[in-house]
Structure 1
Amino acid sequence: MFERFTKDAREVVEGAVTDCRRDGVRTVDAEHLLLALLEREGSRASFALAALGLAERRESVRGALSQARRSAGLTRADADALAGFGIDVSQIVARVEEVHGVGAMSGGRKGGSWWPGRRPGFGRGAKDVLEKSLRVALAHRDRHIGDEHLLLALTVLPGVAAEVLADHGVTYESVTRVLYGEGYEEGRGGGGGEAKAG
């Protein structure tokens, strides 16, 4: 599949691996892909993010992702579901951090990577984004997978990255509008609806 990736898309994946190593975690996840997209300049995804005002709010996005990592990557929906069972996630995080330090539930490790010199693997979330980006590209009849397809995939897959993007006004619809124009029909290109839901 990577042979279909553009240079920009490959650089996002490489950036995600670098972010993962910096965080000291074993696996690249969707959030690492989002962080790598935020670092891009001069690409289709960076254009879309700038047009939607996210370029100026990068730190806000990073903060929201960091906060989610502190809660072991739980989304608000996850936390709300647990609250329905009487489990207060923020209270659990506070207690764990009181004993083990801030960020203890993030999966990272203080002082560097888990195993120096080894490339981190891709977690289920990152794999889902990569697979979905292919479907999105096909739905838009694009021959190659660009970083814009990674961004579109991040907006539709359930999880922390999509939640943080939506909180900042970046949705599948808004990105599609910026990239493909106001008149773009969702069904055009072999099933834009499929790319969104499938």
Structure 2
Amino acid sequence: MFERFTTNARGVVEGAVGHAARAGSAVVTEEHLLLALLDRDGSKAAFALTSLGVTDRRAEVTAALADARRRGGMSKADVNALAGLGISVEEIVAKAEEAHGPGALSEATPRKAWPSGRPSFTRESKKVLEKSLRMAAARKHKQIGDEHMLLALTAMPGVVAEVLAEYGGTYGGVERVLFGAAA
């Protein structure tokens, strides 16, 4: 599949690996893919993110991702559903951090290097890459670009899609910017 990636898409994957390594993460997540997309300049995904105003709100996007990580990866929808049952996720996070330190519900133990020497991708980040392939194929595109990766991130349920949508990067908006109203 990677042989079909454009230079920009390969750059996103490499950037995601870099973000994971700098964070001391044992795996490459969808969050790392999004951060790598936000790093790009001059690509189709960069154009879409800039057009929708997401790039200008990078600090807010990064903070929202960090907040979700602090909650153990729970989306705001999950937090609201639990609140409806009388469960305060904020209280649980505070108690866990009081007992085990800041970031207790984030990724377990940070690691400096991957045992195999190569990064591991989470099941969800692999699904993003697979969905990118399907989106490119559905549009009869011969190559997978970073625009397909961005579309896949907006289409898949979870924290990354929620954060993107909160800051203007919905699936419909990205699709309109990239492919026009008739997409």
- Is the shorter-chain TM-score for this pair beyond 0.5, marking a shared fold? yes
**Normalising by the residue count of structure 2, what TM-score does the alignment of the two structures yield?**
0.93
1:162 equivalent in alignment to 2:161: yes
Partners of 1:128 and 1:164 in 2: how far apart? 18
Aligned-residue offset at 1:117: 7.7
Residue deviations 1:19-73 (CA, integer Å, cap 9, x gap): 1111112111111100110001011100111111112111110000000000111
| Structure 1 portions without partners, runs of 5+ | 186-198
- Following the alignment from structure 2 to structure 1, what is the Cα–Cα distance between the partners of residues 109 and 25? 7
Between 112-121 and 75-84, the greater mean CA deviation after superposition: 112-121
AA partner of residue 127 (structure 1): K
Identity across matched positions, percent? 57
CA gap of 1:138–1:107, structure 2 versus 1, over 3 A, is same
* Pairing of 1:112-131 with structure 2 (within 5 A): 113=112, 115=114, 118-131=117-130
Show the 5 A alignment for 1:3-18: 3-18=3-18
Could you tell me whether the CA contact under 8 Å between 1:23 and 1:108 is conserved in 2?
no
Residues in 2 aligned to 1:174 and 1:10: alpha-carbon distance in whole angstroms: 24
Partner of 1:22: 22
Residue 41 of structure 2 aligns with an amino acid whose one-letter code is E
Q: What is the identity, as a one-letter code, of the residue corresponding to 2:160? A: A
Q: Deviations over 1:149-197 (max 9, x none)?
A: 0000000100000000000111111111111123x24xxxxxxxxxxxx
SS of residue paired to 1:53:
coil
The CA distance in 2 between the partners of 1:125 and 1:27, in whole Å, is 11
Determine the structure 1 residue equivalent to 2:105: 105
Match of 1:140 in 2: 139
The yes-or-no answer on 1:34 pairing with 2:46 is no
Provide, for residues 77-104 of structure 1, a one-character-per-residue CA deviation record: whole Å limited to 9, x for no partner.
2223333444321111111112222222
One-letter code aligned to 1:170: G
Matched with 1:90 is 90
TM-score by length of 1: 0.86
Counterparts of 2:79 and 2:160, CA distance in 1:
15
1:115–1:132 Cα change, 3 Å: closer
Are residues 120 and 169 of structure 1, via their aligned partners in 2, closer, same or farther at CA, if it must alter by over 3 Å? same
Alignment of 1:49-68 (within 5 A): 49-68=49-68
**Which deviates more from structure 2 when the two are superposed, residues 89-98 or residues 42-51?**
89-98
Q: Give structure 2 stretches of 5+ with no counterpart.
A: none
Q: In the alignment, is the contact (CA less than 8 A) between 1:13 and 1:33 conserved in 2? A: yes
Helix, strand or coil for the counterpart of 2:105?
coil
Contact in 2 for aligned 1:15/1:33 (Cα 8 Å): yes
